[in-house]
Structure 1
Amino acid sequence: MTFALASLARTLAATALLCGGAIFADTAHAAAAPLTPHPVKLDDGRSFSLNLPANLEIVPVVQGLKRVRFFARSPDGRVFVTDMQNLSDNKLGRVYALDGWDEKTERYSKVSVYLDKQRNPNSVAFHTDAAGQSWLYLANTDKLLRYRYRSGDLKPSSEPEVLASFPDYGLSYKYGGWHLTRTLAFGGGKLYVSVGSSCNACVEKEDVRAAILQMNPDGSQRRIYARGLRNAVGLLYRDGKLYATNQGSDHLATRSPTKPCSWSTMAPITAGRIAITATARSRPIRSFRARAAARARPRPSRISRRMRPRWAWPGFRPAIKAS
């Protein structure tokens, strides 16, 4: 039982990590096991620890990257990794192809720059159409691209097709930040793309903000599949359901030992319904809708500071909608 982890990009020089002996395997059983500290040592002498099930081993397989985000396995078995370079809005992002797995050294011997000069590439995915043509999909801040994919290529074999364009502006991190990442997932013959909000908590000008889009693999028949998800960075389609991680509002209070409180959820999304399945990670908190409404009227400084997630109250329906 093994799985891939993105590196601790915000605290260390980026490192691709591998748990066990292979990548992308099912972790359902591992997730239920008790977690124990696993030390990780880097070539430059630094080390850190991650809590994982005791029966897993974790080793660095690629080092020296910048801000690793998501992994995808290509039709020919290679691993593709997105790298956003840093926290700024930039066009320095890359997509790496990892190949040449060495069982003895437990590392990839070939790390190729498949794409560069990309605008904050967050997510990459592969899909093979009915005609047998394989495609590489890349989610940048401002657009969704796809390239014809050929096994063994070190660079794209065609110019990209632009399947969709997205708003590419927002407030600075000083005001809670805008969400420049876009995430991809395939399932049920459809392509899903998440687009974050333009701010910390506000009324959006574009319908596409704070939403998940659904479209055909060629970009046609695009529609909003779910809305009200402030920043659904993670998407996973499994057993007929689309799961999304959602990052709630920032800067809600200062009770967390290390940073202002926020909240996050994991929501399985099916047609017409979203079920909130995870609790807040810190308190006090309040919902995105409550926060936006409170800003629109005069209020004392302590209002809503001690609210639980509003979906926790009997009879309350979350301010999240799926079509």
Structure 2
Amino acid sequence: MNLTDLYGRLVALIGAGTILVRHRNDGIRAQATGTTPAIPPARSQGALPTLKMPTAQGWSAGQTPTAAPGLKVNAFASGLKHPRWIHVLPDGGVLAAEALTLPGPVKSPFDFAQYSTMKRAAAVGESPNRITLLRDQDGDGTAETRHVFLDGLNQPFGMALLGDTFYVGNTDGLVAFTYQQGADRISGPGRKLTEFKPGGHWTRSILPSPDGAKLYVGVGSLSNIGEHGMAAEEGRAAIYEFDVASGACRIFASGLRNPVGLAWEPTTGVLWTVVNERDGLGDETPPDYLTSVQDGGFYGWPYCYWGRTVDDRVPQDPALVARAIQPDYALGGHTASLGLCWLPARTLPGFGDGMVIGQHGSWNRSKLSGYRVVFVPFENGRPAGPPRDILTGFLAPDEKASYGRPVGVTIGPDGSLLVADDVGDVIWRVTGA
């Protein structure tokens, strides 16, 4: 079979919604979640692993996700362009970073199949490269005004405001802008403070330290398991610490394949992150995870996973495997857990202290996972119980279409929970019923 014929067959399979769905029994396993997850043995899927992703459909008029009992949800803002991350200003303005994965080079049939699958799911295309400001001026839970707060960016994601400086995590570096309190728009050039390698896992989340002296930035890997060589991964798969006063920047923790959401646990002052794990070993192997982050800690990627389970597809470094820290809490295989924020007790009725996680959803397993917003309860600074749903209903029952995909989560200016939905192009607002 020539390459043209192979591409044609892949297109037909992609149109059917999946290619090479293997090990169907994986799909009926319980999800690998919690502090002691049951992780199935690795099953290598070869050069062409499972691809399965619903077609992006969006929400019909009046349709919303399904809120957990005791909660309700409404659209805080709609008609955005791929909103990924949210930041709330001191004056109550809500910022939405709008950005999109860019198409990469197609070098193989799998690249072509992956690109076609992601495009059908509205997960790749021309990036808006802007931050939009939303204001709910009458307090009814819906934003009446919107302004382009900042544009001309390079796949913006994380945002932070310290004093009169507004920070943006562009894919190629951390950028600072002068900010005037109450302004609807930032004008003037930014100052690039650090350089990051763009591409691959391109998001750059930002979290200030509680005292505002440092910024923590999540930088994902270029590849799945370092298949382009570890030289290409230098400085990636890590969380950085940036000193605001001196401009010094260092790797705080490493071996984190794609650390996206960052949050502080307030009783202990410990940094936590959610991490997207590697592909190609099965539906539940290994699970994505939520973990505390130690200064100088190494978390295994690409050599091993969930502590020290060696990935035999990767040329090994026994010394690094011996150092690998086991994550704290498994979130299920390929859930694409991206958003993270601390939820104080009584913010939502029936929910105590814990972490809220936006699970963007899988594209690479036989039965879809994620596509929901979940809550992990905490006690004494640690996860303490199974995950609970906050929002579901982002997927059609037959898994062929997605109405939306949750990403960033944060506490809104009115104490609600805000959720960015980059397929529905909505910011959702969750409150008590």
Q: TM-score surpassing 0.5?
A: yes
Q: Is 1:119 equivalent to 2:154 in the alignment?
A: yes
Query: 2:78 is paired with a residue of what secondary structure?
Result: strand
TM-score with structure 2 setting the length: 0.49
Alignment of 1:95-114 (within 5 A): 95-104=131-140, 106-114=141-149
Query: 1:192 is paired with a residue of what secondary structure?
Result: strand
TM-score with structure 1 setting the length: 0.64
Among residues 268, 293, 303, which one is paired with 1:269 in the alignment? Answer: 293
Partner of 2:65: 49
Shift of residue 116 of structure 1? Answer: 2.1
Query: 1:57 is paired with a residue of what secondary structure?
Result: strand
Whole-angstrom distance in 2 between the partners of 1:161 and 1:207:
24
Partner of 2:259: 232
Shift of residue 137 of structure 1? Answer: 0.8
Query: 2:137 is paired with a residue of what secondary structure?
Result: strand
Compared CA separation, residues 48 and 292, structure 1 to 2 (3 A): same
Shift of residue 275 of structure 1? Answer: 9.1
Partner of 1:153: 183
Q: Is 1:190 equivalent to 2:214 in the alignment?
A: yes
Any conservation in 2 of the 1:186–1:237 contact (CA below 8 Å)? no
Partner of 1:80: 95
Compared CA separation, residues 270 and 286, structure 1 to 2 (3 A): closer
Whole-angstrom distance in 2 between the partners of 1:63 and 1:85:
17
Shift of residue 79 of structure 1? Answer: 1.1
Structure having the higher strand fraction is 1
Paired letter, 1:114: F
Among residues 175, 191, 204, which one is paired with 2:230 in the alignment? Answer: 204
Shift of residue 241 of structure 1? Answer: 1.3
Shift of residue 233 of structure 1? Answer: 0.8
Whole-angstrom distance in 1 between the partners of 2:314 and 2:296:
29
Q: Is 1:223 equivalent to 2:250 in the alignment?
A: yes
Whole-angstrom distance in 1 between the partners of 2:126 and 2:136:
30
Summarize deviations over 1:25-44 as a string: whole Å, max 9, x none: xxxxxxxxxxxxxxxxx6x4
Unaligned regions of 5+ residues in structure 1, if any?
A: 1-9, 14-41, 129-133, 170-177, 277-284, 298-310
Whole-angstrom distance in 2 between the partners of 1:161 and 1:242:
27
Partner of 1:251: 280
Whole-angstrom distance in 1 between the partners of 2:257 and 2:245:
26
Compared CA separation, residues 191 and 89, structure 1 to 2 (3 A): farther
Summarize deviations over 1:203-236 as a string: whole Å, max 9, x none: 5324320001101125612111000000001011
Summarize deviations over 1:122-146 as a string: whole Å, max 9, x none: 1111112xxxxx2111111112111
Compared CA separation, residues 262 and 271, structure 1 to 2 (3 A): closer
Any conservation in 2 of the 1:269–1:275 contact (CA below 8 Å)? no
Moved more, 222-231 or 149-158: 149-158
Summarize deviations over 1:246-293 as a string: whole Å, max 9, x none: 11002222x46xxxx5521111124355899xxxxxxxx955985654
Paired letter, 1:98: L
Partner of 1:5: none
Summarize deviations over 1:100-119 as a string: whole Å, max 9, x none: 33334x31111111122322
Paired letter, 1:109: E
Query: 1:223 is paired with a residue of what secondary structure?
Result: strand
- Superposed CA RMSD: 3.2
Partner of 1:165: 195
Whole-angstrom distance in 2 between the partners of 1:199 and 1:186:
27
Whole-angstrom distance in 1 between the partners of 2:64 and 2:138:
24
Any conservation in 1 of the 2:98–2:129 contact (CA below 8 Å)? yes
Whole-angstrom distance in 2 between the partners of 1:71 and 1:115:
14
Any conservation in 2 of the 1:244–1:266 contact (CA below 8 Å)? yes
Any conservation in 2 of the 1:190–1:215 contact (CA below 8 Å)? yes
Summarize deviations over 1:11-67 as a string: whole Å, max 9, x none: 454xxxxxxxxxxxxxxxxxxxxxxxxxxxx6x426243343x33321101001122
